[in-house]
Structure 1
């Protein structure tokens, strides 16, 4: 049974910090001739320090963990924290809920702090602060959630979301691009418009940061700016759309064409047009390949330059926000209209892992078996997903998890995990019956495969008919015998379902959450935490991250 924790208010009233300071002169003029420069890192050395990944927002993790889908299970869940984007840094997850913003311990999902006075989303981490976007830009202290500063833009002004990099916070507000100092919110520089063809063009898209520059879009096209001074590095092209965001890596810059699934991809160094990517709402891209789908182009990937890689899945009108992590594409696929053809529903409500080079299916997990959903972040060895509004941390099952379950001597919900536990001798008969039920469930799972019959992994071809290396495909498909066995291993957690009624009671009525004694108060609350998180020692959840 996967764990759920409710996020409740701490009762602490946090005052609003200092307002937006007057404009400053900024840093000395940089040599823009040396930019863009891929060696200039825009942000923290983390997998997912900002909403949509890094400051480039391209949903790309260069050297990500290779997950074994058959062993993935829910390590913890936090109610109401999965509806918006999250950031992960230094073992802490930053998220927003209907009741404020929170910092969660990435290890077990316990609440580090909560600020119920901030109504904002799209977190970004830099230095000692975490930044959120709402009616204003707000910077919170990462140690306790207190407000360090808050902007004071026109209350009626439109703010899409912020980009944090190079010691600044970059945001477009009613057509003006502002660079705020991350330390105190003072204005580093501001650009109201860009001149082109004897006309002035306002900024129309939230910026991205990569290669030592800030990328944005105006009515005159793409523009790259030096982050310290706002000096123009280059601008190019004329756009016929109104995108709301820009995405960038060291290889390319992309922006959405308004009302279209087409994404112009441009050279990150020069701004010159390279290719058109296709993706409903968003695409993901790294250094070689972009991935998207949801239109009549199907769901697939292609080379950013040339035609070395090109693949598609036979799942037209299927949508999924992809993440490219290492050699794998991860996406939670759902239907997006189209003709009611059952053949195109093979991956509906499935978390799918694909080989990024040929689209072959490594594994697929159905929401019927594991609480999967839209990917909110991938960091380290954890995939964070939105499952019915809850933030769920998915990890591979480990021996440590099993030992933790066996150590819960007084936990009657352990089911089959109590086997060999002398302290539960009175439950041996019931345990035996439960083990039998679990065995029946596992035997049924062996005959089930989440991959469709026409999976590219089954016939050695990619979605577009191109040949696929059998060795690579065999290592990842759910048809592989080893992977099937690992799936059964992951299903060992189903033994918790043998006592669903008791587990659900624990999940929905969390003891010890009070407003008077910290986030968790009383021995009952701590004992519940130890049992749910599998901890052997007491934990001080109020201790801020270092």
Structure 2
């Protein structure tokens, strides 16, 4: 498990939690990406770290004032937006594969010239799935401060544009989530998520949704007041203001932190069935440390659930028992 603290990265043994190595002073921010035995982290630079030894393999400087998305490692490249441009660096040596500074987008309403968009640098502005790289375009930072963001799909190797779609007027996105079947756009202004399937707007708009996890055409969203699954044929909802953390999905189970604001009830990690929302398991801690569950994120693998406790990291087995 790879953990970023301060400007460095730590490698922890997944079974024992002991520290295998520490790579300090790599100007790291945000969440690392992992691919093909290498850990990638951004900040004032993009740094590639050997996952076994912790040694820096290569780095690409951006500058102390650079604004960047979190890196995405896929298709033999590392994708990151930097100060409004999208870069693709080779995983092996950091060489620049391609760069795109702006994208022309046809207005959704038509009747106007093509609009040149620059790229968003929000944390989840880039996703890679199904041999496609999707990126979020920033309307407010583009020419004329466009009244809507947009999304664009690229060929991951050539860097050529496959399609570009403007969102509805007034829609400004907070980030992207993607599966082989759909792209989900988190909309901070409307506190909702819009799904695009096969390049067209879905019939569904999920309201009260700030963060998203998705499998196929099913999306699980966490809003201020509820946790819910929305799909083309079924849905379910768990109510509770600021009670649930960002969702994670593993093997048909939705895993979330749960703690009711202002309650003396102990904190919990809960696993819900993705299809019907039934509780599959629940781990209850001995005490209450979280003010509420809203900002408590779980990192989930097939073998463990990791969550922040006591200013450190706690690992649970995925069925809610101590590992």
TM-score range, shorter chain: 0.7 to 0.9
Matched, 1:354 2:278: no
Q: Which has the larger radius of gyration?
A: 1
Distance 2:35 2:69 in 1: 19
Structure 2 runs not aligned, ≥5 long: 106-112, 140-148
Distance 2:217 2:132 in 1: 20
Q: CA deviation at 1:321?
A: 0.9
Judged with a 3 Å threshold, the aligned counterparts in structure 2 of structure 1 residues 363 and 224 are, in CA distance, closer, same or farther, namely same
More deviation in 357-366 or 133-142?
A: 357-366
**Structure 1 residue aligned with 2:254, among 323, 326, 329?**
329
* 1:234-272 alpha-carbon deviations (Å, 9 max, x no partner): 1123353333432111111112213342011111x3243
State how 1:113-512 maps to structure 2 within 5 Å.
113-120=21-28, 121-196=30-105, 197-204=113-120, 205=122, 206-218=125-137, 219=139, 221-239=150-168, 240-267=170-197, 269-278=198-207, 280-296=209-225, 298-303=226-231, 305=232, 308-335=233-260, 349-368=267-286, 374-395=296-317
Distance 2:187 2:116 in 1: 21
8 Å CA contact 1:226, 1:232 repeated in 2: yes
8 Å CA contact 2:35, 2:74 repeated in 1: yes
Distance 1:146 1:131 in 2: 12
CA RMSD of the aligned region, Å? 2.8
* 1:6-34 alpha-carbon deviations (Å, 9 max, x no partner): xxxxxxxxxxxxxxxxxxxxxxxxxxxxx
Distance 1:293 1:347 in 2: 21
* 1:261-290 alpha-carbon deviations (Å, 9 max, x no partner): 2011111x3243342234553111111421
Distance 2:203 2:131 in 1: 21
* 1:187-229 alpha-carbon deviations (Å, 9 max, x no partner): 1111111113332111125210001010012236221100111
8 Å CA contact 2:131, 2:155 repeated in 1: yes
More deviation in 360-369 or 243-252?
A: 360-369
TM superposition score normalised by structure 1: 0.50
Judged with a 3 Å threshold, the aligned counterparts in structure 2 of structure 1 residues 286 and 278 are, in CA distance, closer, same or farther, namely farther
Judged with a 3 Å threshold, the aligned counterparts in structure 2 of structure 1 residues 289 and 113 are, in CA distance, closer, same or farther, namely same
Judged with a 3 Å threshold, the aligned counterparts in structure 2 of structure 1 residues 335 and 191 are, in CA distance, closer, same or farther, namely farther
8 Å CA contact 1:318, 1:335 repeated in 2: yes
Judged with a 3 Å threshold, the aligned counterparts in structure 2 of structure 1 residues 284 and 367 are, in CA distance, closer, same or farther, namely same
8 Å CA contact 1:293, 1:318 repeated in 2: no
Structure 1 runs not aligned, ≥5 long: 1-92, 398-486, 494-532, 534-546
Distance 1:347 1:364 in 2: 14
Q: CA deviation at 1:369?
A: 6.0
Judged with a 3 Å threshold, the aligned counterparts in structure 2 of structure 1 residues 182 and 273 are, in CA distance, closer, same or farther, namely same
Judged with a 3 Å threshold, the aligned counterparts in structure 2 of structure 1 residues 327 and 276 are, in CA distance, closer, same or farther, namely same
More deviation in 201-210 or 374-383?
A: 374-383
State how 1:98-113 maps to structure 2 within 5 Å.
98=6, 100-113=8-21
Distance 1:241 1:384 in 2: 33
Q: CA deviation at 1:107?
A: 1.9
Distance 1:185 1:354 in 2: 41
8 Å CA contact 2:188, 2:210 repeated in 1: no
Higher RCO (CA < 8 A, seq sep 6+): 1
8 Å CA contact 1:160, 1:244 repeated in 2: no
State how 1:515-534 maps to structure 2 within 5 Å.
none
Q: If each structure's strand is expressed as a fraction of its own residues, which one has the higher value?
A: 2
8 Å CA contact 1:280, 1:294 repeated in 2: yes
8 Å CA contact 1:175, 1:203 repeated in 2: yes
Q: CA deviation at 1:154?
A: 3.4
Q: CA deviation at 1:105?
A: 1.4
SS of 1:283 mapped into structure 2: strand
Distance 1:137 1:215 in 2: 20
SS of 2:317 mapped into structure 1: strand
SS of 2:211 mapped into structure 1: coil
